[in-house]
Amino acid sequence: MKTIILNGSPRKSWNTAMMLKEARKGAESAGAETEYIDLFDLSYTGCRSCLACKRKGAERCKCFWKDDLSPVIDRIFAADAMIIGSPIYLGDVTSQVHGLIERLHFCALSYDDYSNYFSGRVDVGVILTMNAPKAYFDLAYGQKAKEMEQVFKALNGSVEVYACCDTLQVNDYSRYNMADFDADHKKEMREKQFPQDLENAFRMGARLGGGR
Ligand SMILES: Cc1cc2nc3c(=O)[nH]c(=O)nc-3n(C[C@H](O)[C@H](O)[C@H](O)COP(=O)(O)O)c2cc1C
């Protein structure tokens, strides 16, 4: 069983990465072979509309643009499970994650009848991290989570979305112009809530890495 893990945060050791590394441990504990990729290390853009994937006779589910992302797209389609994490930036996933979604989705989409070229199955876990507390997530970002669920259904597997809320954004709030945040509350969330989030990420990894 192969699980591919994609970090859509530019920070390689903060909240999103910590959650994903825990998910990776979970997947490996269930016997999965894992690959971990920091998307911000790769050089790519969103879809360039070259339409090579729509050419008659073109191999299906293949992004033909020559950059760092196309081989990753090949490996996602070949995996048993994918776990992708993103911080929420301005109410959305990061631009790297959005670019990946465009290209993954578009090369599997038929422009003849809007059916799905992809006939395999990849189970998907999405981890979203954010400043917003859970209540605000439910109110404002729940729709985004549903959209993520919908978009990854194109991989024909199960899709689960986990919201890791009220994260610690910096270690020392007193050094930044971030007066809107209650530093004591953030520290408390990091000490009490975040360990539970990490445990849930481990469990997600174990579920997805363990296969069907
Ligand atoms: C450019 C930028 C935009 C952000 N926008 C939001 C937002 O709209 N809502 C929110 O809840 N948090 C927002 N945040 C906070 C991050 O989502 C949060 O700190 C996240 O846990 C960071 O993940 P990381 O530690 O893996 O980098 C934003 C952070 C940055 C840098």
Given pLDDT bands bounded at 50, 70 and 90, which one contains residue 212?
low
Kindly report, residue by residue over 170-188, the tens digit of the pLDDT.
999 999 999 999 999 999 9
Mean of the pLDDT values across residues 24-41?
Answer: 98
Given pLDDT bands bounded at 50, 70 and 90, which one contains residue 32?
very high
Q: What is the pLDDT of residue 147?
A: 94
Could you tell which of 94, 130, 138, 165 is best to mutate to test the pocket of ligand 1, judged by most ligand atoms within 8 Å of the CB?
130
The closest residue, in CA terms, to atom 24 on ligand 1 is 15
Atom of ligand 1 at shortest range from CA of 130: 17
Distance CA 149, CA 67 (A): 27
Mean of the pLDDT values across residues 114-137?
Answer: 98
Q: What is the pLDDT of residue 22?
A: 98
% of the chain residues with pLDDT over 90 = 99
Q: What is the pLDDT of residue 211?
A: 81
pLDDT > 80? residue 43: yes
Q: What is the pLDDT of residue 36?
A: 98
- Residue 123 to residues 3, 133, 170, 204, 212: CA-CA distances in angstroms? 9, 27, 33, 11, 9
pLDDT > 80? residue 80: yes
Task: State the Cα angle at 98 between 108 and 79, rounded to 5°.
Answer: 50
Domains of the chain (ranges, CATH numbers): 2-209 (3.40.50.360)
